[in-house]
């Protein structure tokens, strides 16, 4: 085991940086702009986001404290999250280094490091942790299987999912595919660390630095620091405590507002659909769900397409979704091996 600087020391250095750079502004918040990024707005256009040094560092501190519970200096971590014009990739690199672990940054573009190459790196360097979207983890596992490898026999022991809402049910399926424990992180393009997971797997809002509310009751659009995010979430009331005992509220990400359908009581999201379909054994951890003409178009995958050839499984899933959620749905089940072509 190598000797590394404890996280607490970095934390102190960070706080000193903040005092030096931002302490003299009238409102106590940083006037220094440290980082430029972009986000895609609801009409598909790019919008600039500028983050102050204070926000940037405070996001990193919260992420470092969360990852410090999941990773050690012996970990070799693949970071497959977006880097270009976003905050999360650069933040992830810094935080993994702060924990003292080794990092292999592969990003999400798939140009220099396509998934086949990544599988080679995972084997060669005995990668122990993967930070990526749930879809990426599922696709990488099925690619490994299709190449005759056993993802559950790899050195990967931790998968940290970010960048995409995912039900606990699908997360369990992904963990099983890799024989790894799973955790999640939640952020938005402007606030890369908005909620971090506790040891019970619940995402706690970073209320030490963020003001959050939900439009329209417990389930609705997340408003962070007064700005609507376009993200559908559920926010537990403050008096509904988590078993971990933390005082900060629990946030349940449900995807974008645009990807939800109006339900009988509240908006219905793809995560609600996941909870139903992954109640069935036999489905691969792949999942896609999009809204077209007021209907959820759901795509699932199985390892053995013969088992669903009679269409009974599709009809069963569809009727369960309609009955439980009160929304229209169409269900397609594809061969897990054909997933990337079936959903692109
Ligand atoms: Zn908790």
Residues 73-119: tens digit of each pLDDT: 999 999 999 999 999 999 999 999 999 999 999 999 999 999 999 99
Tokens linked to 205: 């809002």
What is the Rg, in whole angstroms, of the alpha carbon atoms belonging to the chain? 21
Judged by phi (left if over 0) then psi (alpha if -120 to 50, else beta), residue 93 lies in: alpha
Residue 71 has a pLDDT of 97
Compute, in angstroms, the gap from residue 256 CA to the centroid of ligand 1: 23
Asked whether the CA dihedral 277, 278, 283, 289 is positive or negative, the reply is positive
CATH superfamily of 7-193: ANL, N-terminal domain (3.40.50.12780)
Compute, in angstroms, the gap from residue 244 CA to the centroid of ligand 1: 4
Compute, in angstroms, the gap from residue 222 CA to the centroid of ligand 1: 20
Q: Is the pLDDT of residue 2 over 60?
A: no
Residue 299 has a pLDDT of 97
Q: Is the pLDDT of residue 130 over 80?
A: yes
Compute, in angstroms, the gap from residue 159 CA to the centroid of ligand 1: 18
How much is the average pLDDT of 249-266? 96
Compute, in angstroms, the gap from residue 250 CA to the centroid of ligand 1: 7
What's the CATH number for 261-343?
Answer: 3.30.300.30
Residue with tokens 């970095």: 10
Compute, in angstroms, the gap from residue 202 CA to the centroid of ligand 1: 5
How much is the average pLDDT of 299-324? 94
Helix and strand element counts for the chain (H, E) = 9, 18
Name the band, by pLDDT with cuts 50, 70 and 90, for residue 217: confident
Compute, in angstroms, the gap from residue 19 CA to the centroid of ligand 1: 31
Q: Is the pLDDT of residue 31 over 70?
A: no
Name the band, by pLDDT with cuts 50, 70 and 90, for residue 33: confident
Compute, in angstroms, the gap from residue 303 CA to the centroid of ligand 1: 35
What are the boundaries of each domain within the chain? 7-193, 205-259, 261-343
Give the strand pairing for 261-262 and 195-197.
unpaired
User: How far is residue 262's CA from residue 127's CA, in Å, rounded to a whole number?
Assistant: 42
Compute, in angstroms, the gap from residue 65 CA to the centroid of ligand 1: 14
Average predicted confidence (pLDDT) for the chain: 92
Compute, in angstroms, the gap from residue 32 CA to the centroid of ligand 1: 34
Compute, in angstroms, the gap from residue 15 CA to the centroid of ligand 1: 26
Compute, in angstroms, the gap from residue 170 CA to the centroid of ligand 1: 20
Q: Is pTM beyond 0.95 here?
A: no
Compute, in angstroms, the gap from residue 288 CA to the centroid of ligand 1: 28
Find, among 230, 278, 267, 257, the residue nearest to 47 by Cα: 230
How much is the average pLDDT of 52-78? 95
Q: Between vectors from CA 47 to CA 103 and to CA 134, what angle results, nearest 5°? A: 40
């Amino acid at each position: 085991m190598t000797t590394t600087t404890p996280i607490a020391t970095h934390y102190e250095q960070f706080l000193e940086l903040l005092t030096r750079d931002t302490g003299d502004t009238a409102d106590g918040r940083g006037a220094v702009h440290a980082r430029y990024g972009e986000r895609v707005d609801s009409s598909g256009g790019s919008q600039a986001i500028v983050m102050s040094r204070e926000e940037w560092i405070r996001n990193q501190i919260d992420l470092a404290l969360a990852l410090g519970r999941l990773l050690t200096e012996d970990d070799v971590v693949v970071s497959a999250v977006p880097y270009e014009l976003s905050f999360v990739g650069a933040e992830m690199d810094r935080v993994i280094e702060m924990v003292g672990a080794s990092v292999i940054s592969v990003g999400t573009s798939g140009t220099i490091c396509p998934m086949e190459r990544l599988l080679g790196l995972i084997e060669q360097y005995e990668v122990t942790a993967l930070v990526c979207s749930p879809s990426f983890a599922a696709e990488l596992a099925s690619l490994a299987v299709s190449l005759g490898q056993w993802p559950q026999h790899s050195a990967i022991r931790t998968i940290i999912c970010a960048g995409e809402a995912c039900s606990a049910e699908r997360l369990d399926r992904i963990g099983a595919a890799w024989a790894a424990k799973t955790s999640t992180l939640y952020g938005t393009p402007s606030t890369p660390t908005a909620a971090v997971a506790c040891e019970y797997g619940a995402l706690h809002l970073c209320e030490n630095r963020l003001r959050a509310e939900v439009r329209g009751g417990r389930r609705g659009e997340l408003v962070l620091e007064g700005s609507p995010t376009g993200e559908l979430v559920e926010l537990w009331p403050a008096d509904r405590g988590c078993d971990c005992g933390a005082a900060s509220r629990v946030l349940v990400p449900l995807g974008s507002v645009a990807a939800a359908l109006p339900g009988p009581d509240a908006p219905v999201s793809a995560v609600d659909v996941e909870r139903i379909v992954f109640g069935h054994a036999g489905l691969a951890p792949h999942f896609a769900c999009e809204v077209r003409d007021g209907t959820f178009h759901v795509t699932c995958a199985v390892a053995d397409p013969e088992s669903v050839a009679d269409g009974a499984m599709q009809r069963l899933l569809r009727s369960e979704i309609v009955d439980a959620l009160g929304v229209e749905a169409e269900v397609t089940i594809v061969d897990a091996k054909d997933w990337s072509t079936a959903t692109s």
